[in-house]
A and B are shown apart, each in its own frame.
Chain A
Amino acid sequence: MYKYILKRLLFLLPMMIIVSFIAFYLIDASSSSPGRIILEAQGVPEITQTLIEETNHKYGFDEPFVVRYFLWMKKAAQLDFGKSFVSNENVSTLILTSFFYTLKLTIATAVTIILFSVSLSVVCVFLKNKFVDKIIRSGMFFLAATPPYLIGIILIWLFSVKFNSLPTSGVGDFSHYILPVLANTIGYASFFFRMLRNSMLENIHENYVYFYRSSGVSEKKIIKHIIKNSLQTAVTAFSMAIPALIAGTAVIENIFAWPGIGRLCVAAIFNRDIPIIQAYVLLIGLFYCVFNILADIINAWINPKLREA
């Protein structure tokens, strides 16, 4: 098992080198000179050739690509991603602060997604094709098709303006979490709900269920086993959903004015604030890799056959 983990971890290294190269290449991939991009990000009204040359020199863009790449990698390894072109603030601080906010939102969302999807799928499986099952399924289908943007606005309108009970946006106490978490959960839960429901329905007809039943094992225990077995298939999907949640909350963060990493990155893309985009790509890349490996490890732990593969 340890050998397997070590093998998987070693795989992380080349992956991260590829990701870092792509992230770094961003600024050179553009048709404009880096100096122009920086000056545009800084809002300079008229960009002259002299200014572009001065800026390129100031930020070291007159050095060859390889030299810059290794310098950047060296600094990135020490978590130094330079300063934002726009606000002149430290990129690491900006990324870490916003990442922390997104993480809080993601953890809360992950918990509610599990609670929602597991409980609803259990209800649906045991009331299969009954009225409640149909209602829940069509409700989930409808919500999955509704854009998160619309869900967010409806939630704010309903709970903040009409009922005047929750804040519209921003961060603060517990009440500020409810609407963004709810909007996020609605967007993602339907996917896991459908997956779990299908997997449970398959499990219900497995031989072990018939065996348990004929051996007189209590229904409660049988259900427990079915849930446990069905969850296994969801592990990979769920592990990959966490980085997806972190990377994909930009829309929700925008509506709820949540100072998270998605919003930071979207703003950086619009402003062409390259150091932030580079750090973001690297971080999210790392997250995808780590969670992928984590999912592999968990699956290998559950199913020893996989370790040999």
Chain B
Amino acid sequence: MKKSKLKKIIFTSMAFALIFAMTACNNSEQKAEEKKDSITMAVSEDISDLNAHLYNGSMLAQDMIFESLVRNTEKGPEPALAESWEISEDGKTYTFKLRKDVKFTDGEPFDAKAAKANFDAIQENKETHSWLELSNKIVGCDVVDEHTIALKLSDAYYPTLAELGLTRPYRMMSPKVFENGKTKDGVTDIVGTGPYKLKEHVTDQYASFEANDDYWNGKPSIKNITMKVMPSGETPLLALKKGEINFLFSTDTSGMIDADALKTLESDDKYKVHISKPCSTRYMLTNSDPSRIISDKNIKQAVWQSINKEELCNGVFSNFEKPASTIFAKSVPYCDVELKDRKFDEEASKKLIEKSGWTFDSNSGFYKKDGKTLVLELVYNSDKTMNKVIAEFIQANTKNVGIDLKLVAVEGNVMRDLRSQGKYDLYLDRSWGLPYDPQSTITALFSKQSFLTVTKDLNSFDEMHKTILDAMTTTDESTRKDLFKKELGFIHDEMCFIPLSYSSAIIVADKELGGVEFNQSQFEVPFYKFAY
């Protein structure tokens, strides 16, 4: 074949490929920008089964569709589907007056009968909800009149209203969708009373929601919300830049958006980055098993003071997370308590280690005792890349004070197994966040399925356990405050958690989108309050 002929062929095919690509590039209009009453956002996973009484579905979507009798706010529980309530003197009966103007989106009225049907269906599956103490306390729900119900408890339980307001399981679904009066094995449709209704759901592709124009709290001004499934971390950012989506939401900086991406978006005129108050804490759990080096209080404190949290927040989180000196931020309910700060101080760390009889071995660069090196194991979840960065940062910090930190990267479920078997020294994790903080994270310290290995061998175990139980049952608010103060003191003294940073929920939206705020729960977004 002649060279010139070949060249011709090459150039023709290249030109053809180019034309082909250009014609194929149909002008994919930027739908998100055209309509100013719509939000298109990226989600990393499919919304899954939204049954409000189970735990499979997206909490973000569940909150848009389903409501509870009360709503958790910064000021505490406020009326939602219940207009008002009364608590009996013994704290065992909650009588709720329900709103009269509420209908499910399938036209069914929301009344005392519907509310009772929901409570019955939820309690039918109460073993699944046993992580919430309320499910163990409810003994029944009675219809008093058409718009009044009485919720009966076995004992007084202060977080009743707060737990009723959680995203799940105590939200109301239309009884019409129940299967044989039950919801635990599935429902026939997704129907609630909330500001939005599910319009279309294509598994692993997208879910679209439309405003419920008969919403009792007024028509939402954002009419359509679409959640597109984009599993890869970089695609949502690129889709936002292109205008295919106009909204991003993440419960922290290691989720949908990372700190670097946020920094670029902050400097972009088109978007605004909204950051919530601190709503959860990154921390390391410490094992109380006396056979482990970490059970020594001096070593715990040495690790605590060896970590430069300022640098961690600056270098790793670009200051989108703040250094944490206590397990809960002061803005968390009952946590505005003064506790002694253990500041970053490498010299102090070294002294503490030496106090426990360890001597520095200049050959290895680590402390040694009876020929054994000061080695600790840090277990972390490898599912999220951010954890590796944090773990390596801590490893570098502890090395400076002569502690050899071994990193153990495992998947989420293996990690939980290691935790319940006590096979770790330090365990990198995050608190459940608002509204589960502080009560659920603290009670988890005494649960076999959760953090029992952190407290089980502490001398103050019994007293700590009693304090939190009392705090959960007392009906007197000021006593509860004192009890929480005492409990937080115990936790801080024993160093059950080594706090690292406080993280916030993040929203990236069009500059023109107004009314952007956060819910009390970091997993929810109050879209119905937004407007262009």
Stretch at the interface among A8-16, A39-47, A232-240, A296-304: A39-47
- Chain B hits for A166, CB < 8 A: 24-25, 28
Structural contact, A254 and B231, CB atoms closer than 8 A:
yes
**B296 on the interface (CB 8 Å rule)?**
no
Known: A48-B127, A161-B242, A219-B1. A42 touches B25 (CB 8 A): no
Structural contact, B449 and A46, CB atoms closer than 8 A:
yes
Contact of B231 among A94, A126, A159, A257 (CB under 8 A): A257
Structural contact, A256 and B235, CB atoms closer than 8 A:
yes
Contact of A178 among B21, B235, B383, B449 (CB under 8 A): B21
- Chain B hits for A165, CB < 8 A: 22, 25, 27
- Chain B hits for A201, CB < 8 A: none
- Chain B hits for A204, CB < 8 A: none
Structural contact, B449 and A48, CB atoms closer than 8 A:
yes
Contact of A167 among B21, B48, B241, B244 (CB under 8 A): B244
Structural contact, A157 and B22, CB atoms closer than 8 A:
no
- Chain B hits for A43, CB < 8 A: 54-56
Which residue from chain A places its CB closest to the CB of B241 in the assembled complex? A161
Stretch at the interface among A69-77, A83-91, A187-195: A83-91
In Å, the complex CA distance between A174 and B417 comes to 47
Structural contact, A45 and B238, CB atoms closer than 8 A:
no
Interface residues of B in 85-137 (CB under 8 A from A): 127-128, 130-131
Interface residues of B in 18-48 (CB under 8 A from A): 21-22, 24-28, 45-46, 48
**A156 on the interface (CB 8 Å rule)?**
yes
Interface residues of A in 236-269 (CB under 8 A from B): 254-257, 259, 263-264, 267
Interface 1/0 per residue, A147-160 and B, CB below 8 Å: 00000010011011
Structural contact, B203 and A153, CB atoms closer than 8 A:
no
Interface 1/0 per residue, B228-257 and A, CB below 8 Å: 111110110011011010000000000000
CB distance from A217 to the nearest CB of B (A): 14
- Chain B hits for A175, CB < 8 A: 24-26, 28
**A26 on the interface (CB 8 Å rule)?**
no
**A111 on the interface (CB 8 Å rule)?**
no
Q: Main SS of chain B's interface residues?
A: loop
Contact of B242 among A31, A126, A160 (CB under 8 A): A160
- Chain B hits for A142, CB < 8 A: none
- Chain B hits for A255, CB < 8 A: 232, 234-235
**How many residues does chain B have at the interface if contact means C-beta atoms less than 8 Å apart?**
49
**B10 on the interface (CB 8 Å rule)?**
yes
Contact of B235 among A47, A123, A156, A173 (CB under 8 A): A156
**How many residues does chain A have at the interface if contact means C-beta atoms less than 8 Å apart?**
58
- Chain A hits for B186, CB < 8 A: 88
Structural contact, A174 and B234, CB atoms closer than 8 A:
no
- Chain A hits for B13, CB < 8 A: 119
**A146 on the interface (CB 8 Å rule)?**
no
- Chain A hits for B242, CB < 8 A: 160-161, 164, 168
Contact of B417 among A31, A44, A219 (CB under 8 A): A31
**B385 on the interface (CB 8 Å rule)?**
no
**A203 on the interface (CB 8 Å rule)?**
no
Structural contact, B55 and A45, CB atoms closer than 8 A:
yes
Structural contact, A254 and B232, CB atoms closer than 8 A:
yes
**B154 on the interface (CB 8 Å rule)?**
no
- Chain B hits for A126, CB < 8 A: 1, 6
Structural contact, B228 and A170, CB atoms closer than 8 A:
yes
CB distance from B147 to the nearest CB of A (A): 32
**A23 on the interface (CB 8 Å rule)?**
no
**B49 on the interface (CB 8 Å rule)?**
yes
Known: A87-B46, A87-B48, A259-B203. A267 touches B127 (CB 8 A): no
CB distance from A28 to the nearest CB of B (A): 16
- Chain A hits for B83, CB < 8 A: none
In Å, the complex CA distance between A94 and B447 comes to 37
- Chain B hits for A87, CB < 8 A: 46, 48-49, 56, 203
Structural contact, B128 and A44, CB atoms closer than 8 A:
yes
Contact of A32 among B228, B417, B447 (CB under 8 A): B417
Interface residues of A in 91-123 (CB under 8 A from B): 94, 97-98, 119, 123
Contact of B203 among A31, A47, A97, A178 (CB under 8 A): A97
Structural contact, A157 and B238, CB atoms closer than 8 A:
yes
Contact of A88 among B24, B49, B127, B450 (CB under 8 A): B49
- Chain A hits for B128, CB < 8 A: 44, 51
**B478 on the interface (CB 8 Å rule)?**
no
Structural contact, B130 and A48, CB atoms closer than 8 A:
yes
**B331 on the interface (CB 8 Å rule)?**
no
Which residue from chain A places its CB closest to the CB of B55 in the assembled complex? A43
- Chain B hits for A123, CB < 8 A: 6, 10
**A50 on the interface (CB 8 Å rule)?**
yes
Contact of A263 among B28, B55, B204, B450 (CB under 8 A): B204
**A17 on the interface (CB 8 Å rule)?**
no
- Chain B hits for A223, CB < 8 A: 1
**B459 on the interface (CB 8 Å rule)?**
no
In Å, the complex CA distance between A257 and B1 comes to 44
**A171 on the interface (CB 8 Å rule)?**
yes
Structural contact, B230 and A169, CB atoms closer than 8 A:
yes
**B205 on the interface (CB 8 Å rule)?**
yes
**A127 on the interface (CB 8 Å rule)?**
yes
CB distance from A219 to the nearest CB of B (A): 6
CB distance from A101 to the nearest CB of B (A): 9
**A63 on the interface (CB 8 Å rule)?**
no
- Chain A hits for B244, CB < 8 A: 167-169
- Chain B hits for A32, CB < 8 A: 413, 417
Contact of B449 among A42, A47, A167, A259 (CB under 8 A): A47
**A202 on the interface (CB 8 Å rule)?**
no
Interface residues of A in 173-227 (CB under 8 A from B): 173-175, 178, 219-220, 223
Known: A164-B242, A168-B244. A44 touches B25 (CB 8 A): no
CB distance from A253 to the nearest CB of B (A): 8
Known: A51-B127, A127-B6, A171-B205. A257 touches B230 (CB 8 A): yes
Known: A87-B49, A175-B25, A259-B205. A46 touches B450 (CB 8 A): yes
Which residue from chain B places its CB closest to the CB of A30 in the assembled complex? B413
Structural contact, B205 and A170, CB atoms closer than 8 A:
yes
Structural contact, B383 and A270, CB atoms closer than 8 A:
yes
- Chain B hits for A254, CB < 8 A: 231-232
CB distance from A131 to the nearest CB of B (A): 11
In Å, the complex CA distance between A132 and B7 comes to 10
In Å, the complex CA distance between A117 and B238 comes to 30
Sampled A-B contacts (27; CB under 8 Å): A31-B417, A40-B413, A44-B128, A46-B449, A87-B48, A88-B56, A88-B186, A126-B1, A126-B6, A156-B235, A160-B242, A161-B238, A161-B241, A161-B242, A163-B25, A166-B28, A169-B228, A171-B205, A174-B26, A175-B24, A178-B25, A219-B1, A254-B232, A255-B234, A257-B235, A259-B229, A263-B231
Residues on A facing B (Cβ under 8 Å): 31-32, 37, 40, 42-48, 50-51, 54, 86-89, 94, 97-98, 119, 123, 126-127, 132, 153, 156-157, 159-161, 163-171, 173-175, 178, 219-220, 223, 254-257, 259, 263-264, 267, 270, 272
Q: Top 6 closest A-B pairs, CB basis?
A: A46-B131, A165-B25, A43-B55, A259-B204, A45-B131, A254-B232
Q: A168-B235, A178-B25, A255-B234 are in contact. List 5 more A-B contacts (CB 8 A).
A: A48-B127, A126-B6, A132-B10, A175-B24, A175-B26
